[in-house]
């Protein structure tokens, strides 16, 4: 029997005879069968999706998987909200407590929240359909990583400075710049707004004035380094600025003689000059300023004018014994050893 045809009954011989089928007819039959199958499949899919409103099994599986991933990403974003709030709390305590204690400048929010410059790091996500959630999550992850890095570096700085905390006690300007013998001076003008002694207008007085005869010894209010020595005809006159570190600086103005030079290390209680009335002054006095992180603060909050004179003098003697500075007194060239 041949497999290339079909059998047909011959009515004359009453026998089944083989009827040969041409190749073209067979190809045509196959094509017709495939076309019919595709048409039936298309009609089935149209009825299944458009008429009945159902989803194909593959589509339903993919949507289910997509929904699961979206749920996970949204959960990540909720966790990142918590982490971001925690980092903000750490940043606030860092700026207002830790860095403030050691006189360090705050880290601006623009630095903490800065993004990544340069090329678009997320261009590969723009081509994905519905990638807005994924892109936003990627951006937030990078943002948190940057904030965490900045906060970590800040804590490293605070830790390094905290190891020098023992030095801080001696550096803070915690004593009066004049010996606490009230027979030698009087407080003539405190910190705050006052009537200007020259023109009578209300003006902020950024320091504390000690009225006293010229030649009264002036002492460093804390350990530090002389950062500036000025000789002016007006303004502060002859003045000295000491940088105590930890955000503190002090200024001693209207001096007659100065015994220190820029770059000299001085100790609390070490004599740095004498009172006078140089510059813009109505009479002999010491104008004393305390600056914390470049802002003027009230010196009265940093000194005890009621310290016993004997205690003050003992401190002066200790400072003189501790100091390695060798100073030639007024009107000669100042010599020192750091």
**More confident call, 201 vs 269:** 269
| Predicted pLDDT of residue 315 | 93
| Predicted pLDDT of residue 73 | 87
87: left (phi over 0), alpha (psi -120 to 50) or beta: alpha
Question: Distance between CA atoms of 220 and 271, rounded to whole angstroms?
Answer: 6
> Of 320, 121, 135, 141, which Cα lies nearest the Cα of 219?
320
> Of 170, 209, 323, which Cα lies nearest the Cα of 260?
323
Structure tokens at 181: 């013998």
Q: Which residue has 């008429």 as its token pair?
A: 51
pLDDT (mean) for 82-91: 91
pLDDT in tens, 230-287: 999 999 999 999 999 989 999 999 999 999 999 999 999 999 999 999 999 989 999 9
Question: Distance between CA atoms of 178 and 244, rounded to whole angstroms?
Answer: 18
- E runs forming strands in the chain: 5-10, 15-20, 186-189, 192-195, 202-205, 208-211, 217-219, 224-231, 238-245, 248-258, 265-266, 271-275, 285-292, 295-297
pLDDT band for position 200 (cuts 50, 70, 90): confident
pLDDT band for position 331 (cuts 50, 70, 90): very low
pLDDT band for position 2 (cuts 50, 70, 90): very low
> Of 38, 156, 50, which Cα lies nearest the Cα of 104?
156
């Amino acid at each position: 029997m041949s497999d290339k045809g079909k059998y047909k009954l011959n009515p004359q011989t009453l026998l089944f005879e083989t009827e040969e089928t041409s190749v073209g007819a067979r190809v045509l039959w196959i094509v017709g069968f495939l076309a019919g199958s595709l048409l039936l499949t298309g009609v089935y899919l149209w009825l299944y999706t458009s008429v009945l409103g159902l989803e194909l099994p593959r589509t339903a599986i993919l949507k289910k998987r997509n929904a699961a991933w979206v749920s996970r990403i949204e959960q990540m974003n909720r966790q990142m909200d918590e982490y971001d709030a925690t980092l903000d709390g750490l940043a606030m305590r860092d700026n207002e407590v830790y860095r403030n204690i050691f006189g360090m400048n705050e880290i601006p929010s623009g630095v903490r929240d800065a993004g990544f410059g340069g090329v678009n790091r997320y261009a590969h996500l723009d081509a994905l359909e519905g990638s807005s959630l994924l892109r936003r999550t990627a951006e937030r992850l990078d943002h948190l990583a940057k904030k965490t890095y900045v906060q970590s570096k800040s804590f490293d700085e605070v830790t390094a400075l905290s190891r020098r905390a023992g030095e801080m006690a001696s550096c803070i300007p915690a004593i009066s710049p004049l010996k606490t013998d009230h027979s030698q001076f009087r407080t003539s003008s405190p910190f705050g707004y006052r009537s200007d002694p020259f023109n009578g207008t209300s003006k902020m007085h950024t320091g504390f004035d000690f009225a006293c005869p010229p030649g009264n010894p002036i002492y460093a209010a804390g350990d530090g380094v002389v950062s500036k020595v000025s000789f002016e005809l007006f303004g502060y006159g002859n003045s000295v600025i000491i940088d105590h570190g930890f955000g503190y600086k002090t200024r001693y103005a209207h001096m007659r003689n100065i015994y220190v030079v820029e770059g000299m290390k001085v100790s609390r209680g070490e004599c740095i000059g004498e009172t006078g009335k140089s510059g813009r002054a109505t009479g002999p006095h010491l104008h004393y300023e305390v600056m914390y992180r470049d802002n003027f603060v009230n010196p009265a909050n940093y000194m005890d004018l009621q310290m016993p004179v004997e205690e003050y003098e003992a401190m002066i003697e200790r400072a003189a014994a501790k100091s390695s500075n060798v100073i030639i007194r007024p009107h000669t060239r100042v010599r020192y050893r750091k």
